[in-house]
Structure formats: C-alpha cells, structure tokens
Amino acid sequence: MSEEAYKRVRTARNNDRPTGQDYIRNIFKGFIEFHGDRRYADDPAVIGGIARLDGTPVTVIAIEKGHTAKERTFRNFGAPNPEGYRKALRLMEQAEKFGRPVICFIDTSGAFCGIGAEERGQGQAIAENLMRMSTLCVPVISILIGEGGSGGALALAVADRVWMLRNAVYSVISPEGCASILWKDPEKAETAAASLKLTAEDALSLGVIERILSEKEIGTNAFYDRIRGLLKEETDALAQDADLVGKRYERFRKIGAGAVMKETI
Amino acid sequence: MNQLEEGGRSSAPVQRDAGEPEKKCPNCRKEIPLSRLWANDLVCPCGYHFRMKARQRIQMIADRGSFRELFSSMASDNPLNFPGYREKIETVRAASGEREAVVCGTAAIGKQKCCLFVMESYFMMGSMGSAVGEKITSLFEYAVQFRLPVVGFTVSGGARMQEGLLSLMQMAKTSAAVKRHSDAGLLYVAVLTDPTTGGVTASFAMEADIILAEPGATVGFAGARVIEQTTKKALPEGFQTAEFVLEHGFVDSIVPRPGQKKYLAEILKLHNGGTAG
C-alpha cells in the first residue's frame, strides 16, 4: 500500500514520460507559440500559445520539463519562475478576450525556489493566477500529466475540469519534503507518500479531480487521439454552460468543507 | 512555555515588583520586563516586534468590546487519517486554547465596522488546512453578504501537510472568495506578520487591495533553507523580510504595531467604511 504511492511518485518523475510539448504536438494542430509575460522575461519552463483542437481554436499552456539533459536544464526542470505564471495568465486573459477554451498540461515538482523568484514575487504571481482563473468566463480544463507539485501546479489548475494521468501525482508537498519536516527523516518518504494521498485515485475520491486518464499505450497516436476526443467533447459541453464561473466557484468551495467539524466537541 | 507565550486573553498589565519576569529581545539582546512589553503591544524599545497571539492582537486592534467571533466551532478533523495528526492537534488545542489557526469575526476599528481575521502562530504556525480555508472563505462570503470590508492579519508556515491535497485546494477556494469580495467593490486590507510564507503568501495574503507588513516580518513563498539548498547560493542580507518585499514592490507599506489601529481606521474611513461607492 505505502509502496504503491511512492512507486507512482517515481513513475510520475520518470524522464521518459511524454512531456507537455509531446501532448501539444500530438493532440492539437498548428500550434503557434507565444512568448513572454510582457513584464520581465520569457520563462522556458512554461510553453503557451494557440492551436486547433479538432478545428476549434484553443489556448494551450504547458509546463515543460524537457527530455534530454540539455533540454531539462533549459526548461529549468519544469520549475516555473513568476514570469511563467504571468505568461500563462496573459495568455488566459487573451483566451478570455477571444472566447477560446483554455487547456493546461501540468508537470512540475513545484514553483522554482530561487532568489530571483522571490525577488519577483513568486507568491504574488501564483496568488494572482488563483484569483483570476476563478472568474474566467471561458472553459478551462487542466490535465496533470506527471508531477503536480503544490501551489506551482495549482496555479494552472483552477479549472472547470481537472484530470490526472493514472500515474500522475498531485500533492501539497513532496513526500521527501514532508518526511524531512515532520519526521526529520527523508528516508520515510514512502510513508509520507502514502499518507499524503497524492495518487490519482486519492485525488478522485477527495473530489479534487473529475477523471483519471488511462495510460494504456501512452505516447502512441491512439493515446493522444483518445485524449483529444475527451478534450473536444468536454470543451464543447462546457462552452454550452451559461454558469461556468458559478460552478467553478462551487467546485472548489466544497473541497474540504466536509472535513471540517462544525459542532463543538 | 513562558508567560508571554501563554498571554493573549488577560487585560492591561499590572504593576510588577523588581523581581518581575523579563524576556530577552533577539534583536537588541536586552532583557525587557514583560510589563513593559505588554504595555507596548509586544514591541521592544529597540523596535523588534515579538510574535503575538491572535486574541491579544484582536484586543489591540478592535475597539473595546466590539469583536464578535464567527465560525468559532469550525475545526479540522484529520480527514486523511494522517499519522500523528490527531494527537498533534489535540496537544496544540490544549496548549493554545484555540480550536484552529485563525480567529474570525466582525469588529470595529476606530468605529469603522469590518470583518476581521487574525491567524494564530501558536497553532501549528498558522498552517492552513480545511478549517482555516473554510473559515477564511466563510468570512469573505459573510463580508459580501453584509457589504463589509475585510481586515486580515496573516501569519503562516503555509499549507498544512497533514491534510494533503485538501490543504492545497484551500488556496484556490480562499482566492475565489477574495475575488468575489473584490468584484463586489469591497475593500480588503492584509497585514503580513512574522512569518507569512508558502501557500498563504501564494493566496489570500497577496490578494488584498492594500498590503501592509510589520517591521522585520519574514515574508516569502519558499523557505529560505530550501532556496539555499536548491540554488547553492548565499542568500542576500535581509532576504525575505518585510523591508525586502517592500523594496521589490510587493507590499504597500510597513506599519509598526503601535500605529496600526489608527492607520487601519483611516484607510477604512477613506473607503467609505470599506464599501467603495
């Protein structure tokens, strides 16, 4: 049981898994990448632009880890700086203006922990995304494809639908970080992984996600075709909903409410 | 636990004799008589701000007798059956006298009515789990319903690990509630106190219309030790202090504790009691 959760963490981190770019390239047609946050820089850890989903224009945003050592260094191992979150938000505002659905692919160990990131307001950048995404009038679907590391992942996941690949993980802290803070022992990461309830099944049962995506034939055309079909179906359905913002509010509003005792003990 | 840490609910300081307890200031290293600290809102004559319990702060900031607590029964109940959490929370409840890491209610500050939340550093370092998220969210919803401004004092080590993903989701939930309050044209003023970090910085602490901080408070997202380990660089002097975030443009002003009440009352007045228009 406890082995299984940590096994998922290791699988989610595997360099051979498809990365954000692979999903963009194989699911959409004619992706046009747009760079920069218009405030400070372009963050290579976040890729964004517009593309066609079965003919429909959509805004696509992905956290990219890269495959080779060189790519991974260039992408900062998929750990975004504030510029990455601000670029994502800029593209979402653009999607809002032109009425395009937003589709996000998330794969990060977390927002980058660096001196510059703090100087440029990592916390503020994430907070602004959380706030603004809660009232976007266009459909938003976020898919966790590998690691879903804390606030750095959530900053692209205030969505109408959040899906997870079977072996993706979603957690408030890394199991190693949790073990070292709570038990002063990073070796207890396995226990921490199980306790944190970070697997796709856990997230589904906690009401944090709506759907688990099978990893059958992962990386093949059949795999991407299946995800494209689901995305198309869901964006079309969401686009018909006149109360997307209200429902998105309720979606998050209810999470954890059941975990709170309201009577006096 | 010394007297200072236990404090919070008692009223004005009493005259003490020569043998009265003292507390050493980590900044000037002097031994300061507790009565003197109490009389000065737990600020050392050198300017160092000691941590303050939530109820003591409410006493300092709200007009006498004006505070009405809301949602006081809400508390977390180990939703993930996280090992050791129930024991931990029971110990903390007994030691702190609080049920959760935030106290919410309505109050008047210089006769200006508002919703007030004050996080509690003596309760698991103000960490945000389901109950903290639910209380903050409920307070902003209450403020929308009754068209009130919100004044909030943050102190937090971040999201509460023991509630896993449920804690993480409180960042989104509280942010959405702040947004609704903001879109209703209502004022939100946050005062960041030592320390304000992690998931609270990355949600409602940084979402206020006006963001203030106490002198010397640690304000940041990632932990300093983690940053040092990740970057293998020495951190600059004064990194992640209130002064640092002011210099980098992320807070409006640093307001020392003794002037906070007057400052907040004036801000509230300038916004027609916080209800723009």
What domains sit in chain A, N to C, each tagged with a CATH number? 2-259 (3.90.226.10)
ipTM: 0.97
**Per-residue pLDDT at B275:** 58
Q: Would you give the end-to-end CA distance of chain B in angstroms?
A: 48
**Per-residue pLDDT at A265:** 39
- The tens digit of pLDDT for each residue in A152-178 reads 999 999 999 999 999 999 999 999 999
- The tens digit of pLDDT for each residue in A30-80 reads 999 999 999 999 999 999 999 999 999 999 999 999 999 999 999 999 999
CB B186 within 8 A of CB B276: yes
- The tens digit of pLDDT for each residue in A190-243 reads 999 999 999 999 999 999 999 999 999 999 999 999 999 999 999 999 999 999
Contact A197 B80 (CB under 8 A): yes
The Cα-based distances of A108 to A13, A173, A237, B202 in angstroms read: 9, 12, 29, 16
Q: Dihedral sign, CA of A90, A252, A3, A177? A: positive
Mean pLDDT of the region A138-160: 98
Collect the ranges in chain B with pLDDT lower than 70. Answer: 1-18, 273-277
**Per-residue pLDDT at B274:** 56
**Per-residue pLDDT at B4:** 39
Which chain A residue shows the shortest CA-CA distance from B197? A123
Sort out which chain A residues have CB atoms less than 8 A from B220's CB and list them: 118, 123
Which residue has better confidence, B238 or A262?
B238
**Per-residue pLDDT at B230:** 86
**Per-residue pLDDT at A1:** 53
Rounded to whole angstroms, how far apart are CA atoms B30 and B39?
17
Helix residue ranges per DSSP H, B54-163 = 54-61, 85-96, 130-145
Interface with A, mutate which of B72, B76, B90, B169 (most A CBs under 10 A): B169
Peptide bond between residue A186 and the one before it cis (omega within 30 degrees of 0): no
Where do the structural domains in chain B lie, given as residue ranges?
A: 1-12+19-50, 51-274
Q: What are phi and psi of A113, to 5 degrees?
A: -95, 90
Sort out which chain A residues have CB atoms less than 8 A from B180's CB and list them: 249
Which chain B residue shows the shortest CA-CA distance from A170? B165
Closest CA to B167 of A197, A158, A256: A256
Choose among B180, B204, B231: nearest Cβ to A115.
B231
**Per-residue pLDDT at A44:** 98
CB A52 within 8 A of CB A67: no
**Per-residue pLDDT at B12:** 43
Q: Dihedral sign, CA of A168, A173, A174, A176? A: negative
Calculate the average pLDDT of chain A. 95
Residues 201-230 of B with CB under 8 A from A: 201-207, 220-223, 226-227, 230
Edge-to-edge strands of the sheet including B112-119? Answer: B68-70, B102-109, B112-119, B150-156, B188-196, B210-213, B253-254
Architecture of domain B51-274: Alpha-Beta Complex (3.90)
Q: What percent of chain A clears pLDDT 90, i.e. is strictly above it?
A: 93
Q: pTM, whole model, 2 decimals?
A: 0.94
Mean pLDDT of the region A131-143: 98
Contact A118 B222 (CB under 8 A): yes
Choose among B165, B221, B230: nearest Cβ to A198.
B165
